[in-house]
A and B are shown apart, each in its own frame.
Chain A
Amino acid sequence: MAKVEFRNLQKAYGDVLVIQGVSLDIADGEFVTLVGPSGCGKSTLLRMLAGLEPITGGTIQIGDRIVNEVAPKERDIAMVFQNYALYPHMNVRDNMSFALRLKRADKADIDKRVQRAAEILGLEPLLDRLPRQLSGGQRQRVAMGRAIVRDPQVFLFDEPLSNLDAKLRVQMRAEIKELHQRLTTTTVYVTHDQIEAMTMADKIVVMRSGVVEQVGPPLELYDKPANLFVAGFIGSPAMNFLKGKIEANATATFVTESGVRVPLHDAPVASDGMLAVLGIRPEHFVLDAARGAPAEIIVVEPTGAETQVNARFAGQQVTAVFRERIDSKPGSMIPLALAPHMAHLFNAETGKAMN
């Protein structure tokens, strides 16, 4: 196990700068997720860490050494690929033992390690099968087994669950998390699914267009997003955004474009009339006949545990999530108000959080 450090990492394809100066610290034993939309550079970053992509600028450090010029096989890392990349012509046992056989390790040792990994992942009955005889979930586990057997300093995961169906994905998420708790190996995990990031990571790194937008523990990113992008990316259903401006008088108020007035409990540092965006998470809407503004229901989606309501509020469509059942039909009006202290304010120009 080891720590990983990125210092001012850059990657260019020709003239295009895909990774623009990323610096990151990953502590020993930490589970870090790289999230972001397609093309944000997260996979590129992972592959640079693996040594599968050359580095244009900056340094990568694994443990105590800088590994920029070190070949993948010397970096003591193991990687689980999106499409598993199992060796089709080898059975499960040979797939998992390949790396050790290349090193001419002691046969008894190899068998022991393969056996242990197979036990952890429930692969024992499958050891003599070929990859094409396995289901998606089983192949996924073999790919992980291959990584575990190596007992490396760092585990790398490149969107490993993307090709699994929803139910399997939920199950594997928990298994991977449990694996990490058991093995405590430093893990870098790439995904585009923010739920995976939230549930599995010790620390999330949100990326967009080759730049790190925010780094922090899941709940910190959830409760205190640093900018509009992170606020909208983390959390499902996504945060609602209301455009408007700030009236910075005695009682700071946010006025939406349609005129709805929202008193701000924590006065932001802002000039009067400044354009801003109010962010409010779906679960932070409350039904308040007294304080609330009328919202017209468009769609009601009961999921059993909660009720999701799409409504027209303050001139635009918002999504609200309630624990209680809502009986109202589409077309009827409900009084929506914002829970106190739950609003996020963002500078309309820079997108940065203001409170």
Chain B
Amino acid sequence: MRTLSTLLFRIALWGSLLLILAPVGWVMLTSIKPTQISQALPPVWNFTPTLQNYFDVLGGNTYTSQHFGTLLLHSIVVTVASTALGLLVGIPAAYALARIKFPGKKGTATWILSTIMFPPAVSVVPIFIVASKLHLTDTFPVLIVPYAVFGLPLVIWMLRSYIKQIPFEIEEAAMVDGASQMDLLRYIVFPLLMPGIVAASLLSAMLAWNEFLFALTLTRSAAKTASVGISEFTNMYGTQWGSLTAAATVTVAPILVATMILRRRLVEGLTFGAVK
């Protein structure tokens, strides 16, 4: 009886998995179909796979207004820069919140966490107006700074948790061993914080890479990102399934792989200090 219920269980599990992954499967399948048959109904299953769609997308041979490859580059620049900025300001803040006593600490920490409630749809309006006046629209910084800030509350809270996990005794031992504050950060805190930094970077990168509203509003062409570019594959001329799915695969692939590999770290950072 045990094995029967286990078997049914497995069927249920794998069945739901197939259902869940159906859209993803469709994307990958369609991306390697020749364009002529990609939209055919009933769907064609017998075909020779081709990478033509990918060449089209990355070679700029599509009906969209811009070379998709360029948009990917923009996304990379913005994502890397905003993640770096987020870490640059976030790590010291996390350390201060985790280790140092200063007045107003609890209130500040709570306020920082509460800023993730601020809807981008609300802040985009004033920022758009200011950016327009300063002629900063369609530049990289106008996305880099907001993206860094979007991830900041989570980055700071995650890193704070990770730092608290390092037993303070170890820092004390290093102090007795002769470490200065700089030595402490460099030889003890930073190396031990690496897993946390990786998790926080992934989270920040995900937010930046996937962001849509700000990119849509604040960029035109010089800084337009892949997220916006993808949405343009469906326009009044109909949908280019082949190009769309190829572009989607390329856009989604890096984050997808990273998420799968680092899923434990991601959740670790968010659930630290969960249990009372």
Contacts and interface: CB of A to CB of B under 8 A. Distances in A.
Complex contact flag A–B (Cβ < 8 Å): yes
Interface of A: 50-52, 71-73, 77-79, 81-83, 85-89, 98-99, 102-103, 146, 150
B179 A85 contact: no
B103 to A, nearest CB: 15
Contacts of A50: 172, 176
A88 B192 contact: yes
Q: Interface size for chain B: under 10, 10 to 19, 20 to 34, or 35 or more residues?
A: 10 to 19
B191 A85 contact: no
A85 B169 contact: yes
Contact of A77 (B170, B172, B174, B176): B176
A73 B173 contact: no
- Residue of A51, A85, A86, A99 ringed by the most chain B CB atoms within 10 A: A85
The 9 closest A-B pairs by CB, nearest first: A99-B177, A85-B169, A85-B173, A73-B178, A72-B175, A79-B176, A102-B178, A72-B176, A89-B191
Nearest to A81: B169
Interface of B: 167, 169-170, 172-180, 183, 187-188, 191-192
Given A83-B167, A85-B167, A73 B179 contact: yes
Given A73-B178, A87-B188, A79 B173 contact: yes
A52 B172 contact: yes
Contacts of A73: 175-180
A328 to B, nearest CB: 51
B172 A102 contact: no
A192 to B, nearest CB: 18
B192 A89 contact: yes
B170 A88 contact: yes
B169 A150 contact: no
Nearest to A79: B176
A224 B221 CA distance: 90
A86 B178 CA distance: 15
Residue picked from B176, B180, B183, B192, most chain A C-beta under 10 Å = B176
A83 B169 contact: yes
Nearest to A74: B178
Given A52-B176, A83-B167, 10 more contacts: A51-B175, A77-B176, A81-B169, A87-B173, A87-B188, A88-B170, A89-B192, A102-B183, A102-B187, A146-B177
26 contacts: A52-B172, A71-B175, A72-B172, A72-B175, A73-B175, A73-B177, A77-B176, A78-B176, A79-B172, A79-B173, A79-B176, A81-B173, A83-B167, A85-B167, A85-B170, A85-B172, A86-B173, A87-B173, A87-B174, A88-B170, A88-B192, A89-B191, A98-B177, A102-B177, A102-B178, A102-B179
Contacts of B179: 73, 102
A146 B179 CA distance: 14
Contacts of A85: 167, 169-170, 172-173
